[in-house]
Structure 1
C-alpha cells in the first residue's frame, strides 16, 4: 500500500538505474554512492507500495510497477530538461544512448551514425557494446539492441533496419595453391572460416553454415573481423558479409550465384525508450547511415520512428 508521495529525486534515481542496469553506474552518474542509490530506491518502493526492480544475471530489471514508475521518471526528467534549456521546447537534447550490435554493424553503421549524431546534437553521447547474440527478453542497461534475424521479444518493439548478404571469399594466393571451386559441390575439399558453431547464439547466422554442409572448419571465431583476417591470411574460404569486403582487402568473391545468403538486421527497443528524443534521434541516424550505404546494404523503406 502506498504510504507517502513519491519523491521526484527518487524517481530520477530510478531512471538512472533503469538506463544503466547497475546501482554502481547510476551512483557514478549521479555523483553519489551506492548506499544512497539503494536507499533512494527503497524509499521509492515504500512510497509506491511495491517492488520496482528485480535482480537478473545482466543487472537490475524493472517490474511492471517499475515500468510505470519509469514513465513518470521520464516525464520529470523531460520537464527538468526544458527548465534548464530556458524555453518551453528544449533546443538541445542532453542524454546518453546505450546500444549493442554485432561487430560488423558496430563498425560500419553504429559508430559513424553515433559520430554524426553527436556532431548534430553535442549533448547526446552514445555508448556502443559489440555483441553478436539474440535479443534479450529483459534488457538492462541498454536502450537499443541490434540483432541478426527477426527476434521474438516481449514488451519491446522489433523494427527491421535492412538486409545484407553473406558470400564466400578467398585470396588469389589461396586459390592458386588449392584451386578455385567450380561449383557448390566442389566446396567439400576446402575448409571454412566462420563462426564457432557451439558458441553461436544467433540462429539465423547458423543458416549460413547450412548452405555449406560438406565444408569442414579451418578457423572459427566469435568475431567477424577475425574471419576476415584469417581469410586474408589464406587460412581457407571465408563466409563473410559482402558489405565489409572492400577492394583493398584483396579478396575474391566465389560462386556468387550459388552461395549468396541473405540476412537482416533488426532493432529492438522498448516503446517507452523509443519515445526518448535522444533514442529516436539515434534510430533516425542509423537509418540515414544505412541508406547512405545503399550499394552494400539494403535498408528498409519504412520509417521506424
Structure 2
C-alpha cells in the first residue's frame, strides 16, 4: 500500500463511478474528462494497494476492496451535504437510477417518482424501462424491479406485489369471431403476447403453458403493444388484468380456466440502500406497488 493518505476527492470520484457504472458517465456528472477520472481511480488503487473496480460486460463493478472504499465515500458525501446545507433534505440531493418493466414504469414508478419529487425537489430519478432478469453486475443501477423471484448475489431482494394475467378480447372482436366457451375453442383464435424467442423471463412463459394450442397472432416485447393489438382486434391477448381492466372495450374470457399469477420483485445492492435517496425511493415504490395487488392501480379509461 502507498504511504500517502487516501484522497477524499478520489473517494468521491469512486462514488460517482459506482453509481453510474461507467467512467464516461461519472466524468460528465463531475465535469471532468474521462482520462482524469481514470487517472484518479488508478491513484486511489495505488494508495489502497489493490483494484477497486473490475470491468464487466455492462460497465464497471466494485471489488470487495472497492465496496469497503465506497462505504467511506458514502459517509463522506453525506457529511459534505450536511455541512453545505445544514438540513435533512440535503440527504435527498441525489440521483437515483432504476430499471423496471414497462407497465410498472408507467403505472407505479413514474407516479412514485413524481410524489417523491414533490417532497424533495432536488432529487433526480432516472427510469429505464426494460423487461429482463436482474443483473449480476449491473452497477449502473441503484434499483431493479423484475418479474419473478431473482437469483442474485451481494444484493437485497424482496417481493413488491403480485398481479394476475387473464385472456381478453375486444368487444368488436368477440362480436365478430365469437367468444370461446371452452379451452378447446381457443385454437380458433390467435394469441397476442410476448415473442417466444425473445422472452427472457421464465415466469412470463405462463402464456405458453396455459394456452399451448393457440397460434401466435401479434407478438411484441412490450406489454402496451399487447394491449393495443388486442383492442384493435388482432386476437385474444394474455394481459395483466390491472392493465386490461382500465379499458372498457376489453372483455375477459374464460376467467376460471385461463389465469396466472406473476410477481414483481425489487432488487438493490446493500451499499446503494444505505443512500437516503435510494432508501426513500424504495419505500415509495413499496407503497405505490401495493395498489397493483389490491387492484386499484390507475383509473379505467376508454
TM range (shorter): over 0.9
1:286 match? 285
- Give the equivalent residue in structure 1 for 2:175: 176
User: Is the 1:162–1:297 Cα contact (8 Å) retained in structure 2?
Assistant: no
CA distance in 1, matches of 2:7, 2:182: 68
Once the two structures are TM-superposed, the CA of residue 293 in structure 1 deviates from its matched residue by 4.8
1:255 is aligned to 254
1:301 paired residue number: none
Q: How does 1:7-46 map onto structure 2 within 5 Å?
A: 7-46=7-46
Counterpart mapping for 1:7-156 below 5 A: 7-86=7-86, 89=88, 93-156=92-155
1:25 partner SS: helix
Q: CA deviation at 1:68?
A: 1.1
C-alpha spacing 1:294/1:153, structure 2 compared with 1 (3 Å): closer
Number of aligned residue pairs? 297
Please say if 1:215 is aligned against 2:193. Answer: no
CA contact (8 A) 2:161 2:293 kept: no
Distance 1:247 1:133 in 2: 25
Aligned-pair CA distance for 1:294: 5.1
- Whole-Å Cα distance in 2 between the matches of residues 83 and 10 of structure 1? 19
Measure, in 2, the Cα distance between the counterparts of 1:176 and 1:114.
Answer: 41
| 1:204 maps onto 2:195 in alignment | no
- What is the aligned-residue RMSD (CA, Å)? 1.5
Offset of 1:115 from its aligned partner?
0.6
- In the TM superposition, structure 1's runs of 4+ consecutive aligned residues that sit over 4 Å from their partners are 89-92
Tell me the residue number matched to 2:244.
245
Pairwise CA distance, 1:249 = 5.1
CA separation of 1:236/1:62 partners in 2, compared to 1, >3 Å: closer, same or farther?
same
Query: After superposition, what is the alpha-carbon deviation per residue over 1:127-174, rounded to whole angstroms, capped at 9, x for unaligned?
Result: 000010000111221000000011111000111101001111111111
Asked if the contact 2:163/2:292 (under 8 Å) is kept, the reply is no
TM-score, with length taken from structure 1: 0.93
Post-superposition offset of 1:92: 5.2
| SS, match of residue 136 in structure 1 | coil
The structural deviation recorded for 1:3 is 3.6
Counterpart-to-counterpart distance in 2, 1:162 and 1:223: 20
- Calculate the TM-score normalised by the size of structure 2: 0.94
Q: CA shift at 1:207, angstroms?
A: 2.1
Partner in structure 1 of residue 230 of structure 2: 231
Is contact 1:92-1:121 (8 Å) kept? no
Secondary structure of 1:74 counterpart: helix
Give the whole-Å Cα distance in 2 for the aligned partners of 1:111 and 1:273: 20
Deviation, 1:118, is 0.6
Structure 2 CA distance for aligned equivalents of residues 37 and 267 of structure 1? 31
Indicate if the aligned counterparts of 1:163 and 1:297 stay in contact, CA closer than 8 A. no
CA distance in 1 between counterparts of 2:99 and 2:169 reads: 30
Secondary structure in 1 matching 2:149: coil
| 8 Å contact from structure 1 (residues 164, 297) kept in 2 | no
Alignment-derived partner of residue 188 in structure 1:
187
2:160, 2:48 → 1: CA distance?
Answer: 38
SS of 2:92's equivalent? coil
